[in-house]
Amino acid sequence: MDDEQSPTATWQAKHRELYERATRHPFILSIRDGTVDFSSFKRWLGQDYIFVREFVPFVFSVLLKSWKESEIKSDMEIIFGGAAALSDELSWFKNEASKWGVDLCGITPFTANTEYCRFLQSFTTLDINYTVAATAFWAIETVYQESFSFCIEGDHKTPTELLGTCQRWGNSDFGQYCKSLQQIADRCLKKAPADVVRMAEEVFVSVLEHEIEFWNMSSSE
């Protein structure tokens, strides 16, 4: 797709500074240069497990909206693929937590996580349309894809213990999946009325802000 006609690519350029703060956060840079504090990684792991549990109903609500509102059948299949993968993802968190000695039952969500989860919940209502929800979904997945793929690209010094985590979201299949979500969002945005496009852009910015806060929370004491 031509970038000039892609609303999502236009926003990535327009909000470049914020976008870089979300996808090149110091926490991610510390993984890539090998200086990461493992206690920060463990904090991220426990908090992200809580987030992903909340992400499940969010993704299924996007799936439901696509079934109701999209005339393109492949949308549902792509989103269902993402939804189905979440079961494996939760198992991965449990496995990883036991490797790192993180007790997932004893974790209290930090404020940044609670606020992000509340934001996710706000999309599950019927009045939020498919275009806006699909844009949020694309943005959430893409921040992780761009962040973690950077940790395994080029001349990285990512610790061996963290390579599996980085590959989970940084692998090329996940990158392709994010591109498919971007195409869905772009197609919907191109035919959406101006107020919906405006709302979707606000949602894109909010996702970036929540992601930055999530990294901040993970990397601070």
Cβ distance 15 to 206 under 8 Å?
no
Cβ distance 135 to 185 under 8 Å?
yes
Please tell me the distance from the alpha carbon of residue 31 to that of residue 11, in angstroms, as a whole number: 27
- Cα→Cα distances 28→18, 34, 41, 151, 160, Å: 15, 10, 10, 7, 15
Identify the residue among 110, 144, 150, 177 touching ligand NSP (CB under 6 A): 144
Identify the residue among 28, 70, 137, 141 touching ligand NSP (CB under 6 A): 141
Options 20, 211, 213, 221, the catalytic residue: 211
Binding-residue pattern over the window 201 to 220 for ligand NSP, x denoting contact by CB under 6 A: ----------x--x------
Displacement of CA 215 from its chain's centroid (Å): 12
Q: Is 19 in the site for ligand NSP (CB under 6 A)?
A: no
- What are the backbone dihedrals phi and psi of residue 73, each rounded to the nearest 5 degrees, phi first? -60, -35
- What are the backbone dihedrals phi and psi of residue 108, each rounded to the nearest 5 degrees, phi first? -100, 130
Binding-residue pattern over the window 34 to 63 for ligand NSP, x denoting contact by CB under 6 A: --------------x--xx--x--------
Q: Is 27 in the site for ligand NSP (CB under 6 A)?
A: no
- Within positions 175 to 204, which residues make up the interface with ligand NSP, using CB under 6 A? none
Note if 211 is an active site residue.
yes
Identify the residue among 36, 140, 152, 185 touching ligand NSP (CB under 6 A): 140
DSSP 122: T
- Catalytic site positions: 211
Which stretches of the chain bind ligand NSP, using CB under 6 A?
48, 51-52, 55, 140-141, 143-144, 211, 214
